[in-house]
Chains A and B, each alone.
Chain A
Amino acid sequence: MKTPIVFLNAAHAGRRGFMDVDESSHTVMSITFDDGTTVPDNPGYSYRTADVDAEIKAKEATPVLEPEQPGELNA
């Protein structure tokens, strides 16, 4: 099963690709860059799945509202 991913290393930040997961063992067999370069579990890469990346970016784009202080409603 090929799952879309986004690379996170500074050298590859934002580059996309996919991870190939064996469906019977639920093991990542390899990761592949968008240019087709496959890197079988080489050290030094960090990445997250594209859906998690979209979720995290949506959260980062949402303004955080400060909680109201106690008593503020009655002021």
Chain B
Amino acid sequence: MPGNTDPLYSRAGTLGVPAAVTAANTSSQGGGTIGTDIFLALTADAINGSFIRELRMNPVASVAATATTATVARVFLSTQASGATTSANTHLFAEVALASQTADQATTATTPVIVPMNFVLPAGWSVLITNHAAPAANTNWKTIPIGGNY
């Protein structure tokens, strides 16, 4: 017998914890300290897990017309939501190139980088983000997860 024959719908939308990356992490193996060099974007619903449709990464700046540093963003799935992470509990899910963009312009919009997810993140797991290079002064890449909690 299958465990469930009924479709599942999310109970409430979630945007996780929109995460601004403020540091470089040059490892793709998942090691770091959450909040210092690897950043929490979403923690799955503690009981039923969460569906994640996508991550939207936007370049932002506090000073008009500032160029971001070209880098690679990494998305990790982890059983940790705080403290230190290691390659044993934090696993690379995707890498995307973040080309330099001039953020916060008067008449030209930036372009978000979208990472499709489209899967159910089990309870006890979280989504973490790193950037390979440190952001340029007065800029960073901010990640907003879009999904729903079951």
Contact = CB atoms under 8 A, between A and B. Distances in A.
A51 B137 contact: yes
B133 to A, nearest CB: 4
Is the interface on chain A under 10, 10 to 19, 20 to 34, or 35 or more residues? 20 to 34
A25 B69 CA distance: 8
Contacts of A34: none
Given A25-B70, A26-B100, A52 B136 contact: no
Given A25-B100, A28-B69, A46-B26, A3 B32 contact: no
A13 B48 CA distance: 38
Main secondary structure of the interface of B (DSSP, over half): loop
Interface string B12-25: 00000000001111
Interface string A52-67: 1000100000000000
A43 B30 CA distance: 11
Nearest to B69: A26
A43 B27 contact: yes
Interface of B: 22-29, 31-33, 36-37, 67-71, 100, 132-137
